Amino acid sequence: MNTTQYLEANNQRFLDELLDLLRIPSVSADSARNEDTFRCAEAVKSALLAAGCTHAEICKTKGHPIVYAERMVDPKLPTVLTYGHYDVQPPDPLDLWTSGPFDPVVRDGKIYARGACDDKGQVMMHVKALECMVQTQSLPCNVKFMIEGEEEVGSSNLGKFLKANKDKLKADIVLVSDTSMISMEHPSIETGLRGLAYMEVELTGPNRDLHSGVYGGAVANPITILAKMIASLHDKQNRVKVRGFYRDVVDLSPAERKALNDAPFDEAAYKKDLDVDALWGEEGYTTLERTGVRPTLELNGIWGGYTGEGAKTVLPSKAYAKISMRLVPNQDSRKIARQFTKHFERLAPPGVRVKVTELHGGEPVVTPTDGKAYQAAAKAIETTFGKKPIPTRGGGSIPIVALFEKVLGLKTVLMGFGLDSDNIHSPNEHYGLLNYYKGIETIPHFYKNYAANH
Ligand code: BES
Ligand code: MN
Ligand code: MN
């Protein structure tokens, strides 16, 4: 029996085991879910042992634990380190879900649940692919797994773990399935991730909330001031006006730009899917460039004053916003955070005080397309999808990937099977059954190609 036949013979159980994992609400941002998150780490550990790992452990951190597991075949053979995360984003707003976020159901060929695609579904593909290889005696190299529980909150303890466990994590390549493809008809491999600098700003006007009639018109309203400051962060061309923001950006060569824009992209379908009548972005760049290779500044949240039912006449003491910047090579998240802080503090007029805090950051990465690992992934996808994958640049961030290179000296292959339309971080997140099974089918081919060519 080969791995594909083993998958076919076990496909219902493979699905049921993913659904079990999806029932655990491992929301890393929500401390009320800490026990569930821990329970999820234990479930991942058990799944890895059941799949054929000979050793698995839960590694405690200051935050949520990391699951480490391995199956060493022969020290002379190469070692693949698979990384993923078992934590998920908060499910709210709950009322927009058709079925419960932690009550997974299969509808129209898709698994609906928080984490279905990001990243439990994609982690489980690797667990089940290992089982397929072990059970058919075809695992061609050593495997290590590092599945963390804090990706969605910035992986702040994982860097330390890498530094402290260089020997344990010794490998030849890192394999990650936590990104997306263009479509099932146009399989693709992301060859870059953007970095991130995530900031929170707080504006304080008067020392207490005031009656907006008694004081209004005479005292700076922090919400008004914040709105003006935020509005000034982009210019007419929708470029980011933070001083120095673009200084370190390396522009793509004309050939690279052309290659990027050769990827299939249907602007009309994109707009229709999002229900917008126009797109928005930095002038002079296409949508694929705006999301893949240009840095951006986005408002993630803004609040202050009265937001409850009905009306309350108040001139609030405080106003807040969460602002994140996506970064591209060779921008540095700490430097950008400092530049932003300086810029934002300078924007504030007399009458308000401003406090800027950096919540977390991560560096951008570009992964090579000429290495053995990329070639092994491309060939694996070509085998199972019947088409050569297109290299693309992803807009999302996985901050730890830059540290794999910096701390462990390891390159990464981003062999993701999600789709942009899977609603990750949003209500009704889902993952195609086909994507799940294709992933399980493809991963063993990656191993075979990679080990053969090592
Ligand atoms: N899996 C995503 C990142 C991703 C999604 C990359 C789609 C490429 C395509 C990851 O779980 C994620 O959401 N990362 C966060 C960063 C983190 C520090 C909160 C992100 O990109 O916002
Ligand atoms: Mn993810
Ligand atoms: Mn995510």
- Measured CA to CA, the distance from residue 403 to residue 411 in angstroms comes to 10
- pLDDT bracket for residue 454 (50, 70, 90): confident
Q: How far is the CA of 136 from the centre of ligand 3 (A)?
A: 33
Angle among Cα 330, 333, 334 to the nearest 5 degrees reads: 120
Q: How far is the CA of 420 from the centre of ligand 3 (A)?
A: 12
Residue whose C-alpha is closest to residue 133's, from 445, 433, 454, 449? 445
82: left (phi over 0), alpha (psi -120 to 50) or beta: beta
Angle among Cα 355, 356, 361 to the nearest 5 degrees reads: 160
Q: What is the pLDDT of residue 233?
A: 98
Residue whose C-alpha is closest to residue 85's, from 131, 161, 150, 24? 150
Q: Is 179 in the pocket of ligand 1 (CB under 6 A)?
A: yes
Give pLDDT tens digits for 230-268. 999 999 999 999 999 999 999 999 999 999 999 999 999
Q: What is the mean pLDDT of the chain?
A: 97
* Residue 35 a catalytic site member: no
CATH number of 195-249+295-362: 3.30.70.360
DSSP state of 184: S
Q: Is 87 in the pocket of ligand 1 (CB under 6 A)?
A: no
Q: How far is the CA of 308 from the centre of ligand 3 (A)?
A: 30
Amino acid at site 395 = G
- Measured CA to CA, the distance from residue 187 to residue 383 in angstroms comes to 11
Are 215 and 314 within 8 A, CB to CB? Answer: no
Give pLDDT tens digits for 355-411. 999 999 999 999 999 999 999 999 999 999 999 999 999 899 999 999 999 999 999
| Ligand 1, pocket-test mutation among 398, 401, 420, 435, most atoms within 8 A of CB | 398
Residue whose C-alpha is closest to residue 166's, from 151, 150, 144, 149? 144
Give the CATH fold of the 3-193+365-453 domain. Aminopeptidase (3.40.630)
Give pLDDT tens digits for 33-78. 999 999 999 999 999 999 999 999 999 999 999 999 999 999 999 9
- pLDDT bracket for residue 93 (50, 70, 90): very high
Percent of the chain with pLDDT over 70: 100
Catalytic residue among 119, 151, 172, 190: 151
Q: Is 152 in the pocket of ligand 1 (CB under 6 A)?
A: yes
* Residue 167 a catalytic site member: no
Residue whose C-alpha is closest to residue 225's, from 352, 114, 343, 317? 352
CA dist 379 → 385, 402, 448 (Å):
10, 25, 10
Q: Which atom of ligand 1 is nearest to the CA of 153?
A: 19
Q: Which residues contact 119 (CB under 8 A, 6 or more apart)?
A: 84, 85, 86, 88, 151, 177, 178
- Measured CA to CA, the distance from residue 167 to residue 126 in angstroms comes to 22
301: phi then psi, degrees, rounded to nearest 5: -175, 150
Q: What is the pLDDT of residue 223?
A: 98
Mean pLDDT of 285-297: 97
Q: What is the pLDDT of residue 440?
A: 98
- pLDDT bracket for residue 159 (50, 70, 90): very high
Q: How far is the CA of 255 from the centre of ligand 2 (A)?
A: 30
pLDDT at 453 exceeding the cut of 90: no
The neighbouring-strand residues paired with 365 are 193
Residue whose C-alpha is closest to residue 177's, from 118, 130, 113? 118
Determine the 3-state secondary structure of 376 from DSSP: helix
Q: Which atom of ligand 1 is nearest to the CA of 85?
A: 11
- Measured CA to CA, the distance from residue 132 to residue 10 in angstroms comes to 9
Cis peptide before 389 (omega within 30 of 0): no
Q: Model-level pTM greater than 0.85? A: yes
Q: Where are the domains of the chain?
A: 3-193+365-453, 195-249+295-362
Give pLDDT tens digits for 8-24. 999 999 999 999 999 99
Q: Is 196 in the pocket of ligand 1 (CB under 6 A)?
A: yes
